[in-house]
Amino acid sequence: MTSSEDLSVRLRTLEEENAALRRRLDGGSAGAPLDHKALREMLHELRQPVQAARLFHGLLARRLTEGEEAERLARLGQAIDAIEARIVEIQAAARGKS
């Protein structure tokens, strides 16, 4: 598997974890609602691998400037952007509920 494929797999995993977190935050899970501290910890855990993905994306973007691989890398960047936006949304929702 190439680096961009590894990142794509990891990003899909993070998106799934983010969706589960959002369901718990919204009370859609059978588990107990998250307290503010638990939510901050989960967001921190999500933020770290997303930042690593952003770093690797930036490094690859310097090398892949044309062609099909560059297009795939651009889509990967969009996925990272979407994850980061969701984290910000969850943080804002948590502030509103605390």
93 domain-assigned: yes
Q: Which residues of 8-37 are buried (b: 16+ CB within 10 A; e: fewer)?
A: beebeebeeebeebeebbeeeeeeeebeee
* Mean pLDDT along residues 57-65: 92
- With beta carbons less than 8 A apart as the criterion, state whether 22 and 97 touch: no
Q: Is residue 33 part of a domain?
A: no
Q: What's the predicted TM-score (pTM) here?
A: 0.62
Residue 57: per-residue pLDDT = 93
Q: Is residue 56 part of a domain?
A: yes
- Separation between Cα atoms, residue 9 and residue 1, nearest integer Å: 10
Tell me what the pLDDT averaged over the chain comes to.
82
The verdict on residue 35 lying in a domain is no
Query: Per the domain annotation, does 15 fall within a domain?
Result: yes
Residue 87's domain comprises 3-28+43-97
> Is there a domain that residue 89 lies in?
yes
